[in-house]
Amino acid sequence: MEKKFIGAGLLSGLIAGIVAYVFARLFIEPQVAKAIDYEEGRSHAEEMLAGEHGAHEHGEVFTRSIQENIGAGVGTVVFAVCMGAFFAVAFTILWAYMGRHYPATDPRVTAGALGVIGFVAVFGVPFFAYPANPPAVGNDDTIGARSGAFLAITLLSLAFAIAAVVLALWLRPRLGGLLSGVAATVGYLVAVTITVAVLPEFDEVPGPVANDSGQIMFPGFPGDVIGDFRVYTIANQVVLWTVLTVVFAVILGRLARPAATADVTTGDKIVAEQG
């Protein structure tokens, strides 16, 4: 059965990745294009201000068409498939406990709860701490620090989520399902709040380009592009995790049908023999 769970996770991730890529291609890529146009205009203004009138060509290994189609598509699908595999492993471990101690629990409900926890721990909290930015937003000198901080909050958020689930399952026989869930959630929120407060902050949205007299030669990065980019990024992850969880739950339902059919057939056979 574990192999079937892994297969279900991989298939769910594949479908979720394709859907998420289509969404990103329609809504996120236009914001990326606006950010790139701004970056080019800002570079030109800075060169003119510095007296460098010659055009500077910035060579790219891959064209924008390849990046936004093949590159983004492959990256999104691979990420989603990996998430599907991790999701399946987490479900297998969680269901091994739930099926043993609470056999009446619907596995699809467990998958749904796991999907919510995964979305919050893997994306929600890290995004709240360090919101995604389009190109041209961020200082090249702080890439290492920003990447390290983002990785730290992601790993710690995931570790805190696992600890919260273990705590909720441990408290459930003592406090009941509702109170144990509330206690674990409060503990998780306290842990991630302290972690976010300790980690460094980064506010690197480019301001306007001005000359020595203070005259603005090029505006700062447009706030609406940042806002739209972040909103669509959140929506894209909601789509990815929702499709992943729903498809996985549907596959679980289909996996359970043969067993249920076999039980009914066996029962009918016994009744017939007794008759």
136-171 residue pLDDT tens: 787 878 889 999 999 999 999 999 999 999 999 999
Name the phi and psi angles at 209, rounded to 5. Answer: -90, 125
Q: Which residue has the tokens 């990996």?
A: 82
Give the lowest-confidence range in 74-88, 224-238, 246-260: 246-260
Give CA angle at 274 (271, 275), nearest 5°.
85
For 61, which DSSP code? Answer: S
- Helix pair 2-49, 72-101: axis angle to 10 deg: 140
Provide the pLDDT for residue 191.
Answer: 97
Determine phi and psi for 203, rounding to 5 degrees: -125, 90
**Per-residue confidence (pLDDT) for residue 255, from 0 to 100:** 84
Residue 61 has pLDDT above 80, yes or no: no
C-alpha separations of 120 from 65, 160, 191 in Å: 32, 11, 14
Query: Does residue 244 carry a pLDDT above 50?
Result: yes
Nearest C-alpha neighbor of 136 from the set 29, 60, 33, 66: 33
Nearest to 244 by CA among 71, 122, 125: 122
Spatial separation of the C-alpha atoms in residues 243 and 237, rounded to whole Å = 10
Query: What's the Cα-to-Cα distance from 224 to each of 10, 39, 107, rounded to whole Å?
Result: 36, 15, 42
- 202 pLDDT more than 80: yes
And the tokens for 7?
A: 């297969």
Through-space distance between the first and last CA atoms of the chain, rounded to whole angstroms: 35
Nearest to 17 by CA among 113, 87, 93, 89: 87
Structure confidence at residue 62 (pLDDT): 61
For residue 172, pLDDT over 50 is answered with yes
**189/209 Cα distance (integer angstroms):** 40
CB 111 within 8 A of CB 248: yes
Confidence of residue 212 (pLDDT cuts 50, 70, 90): confident
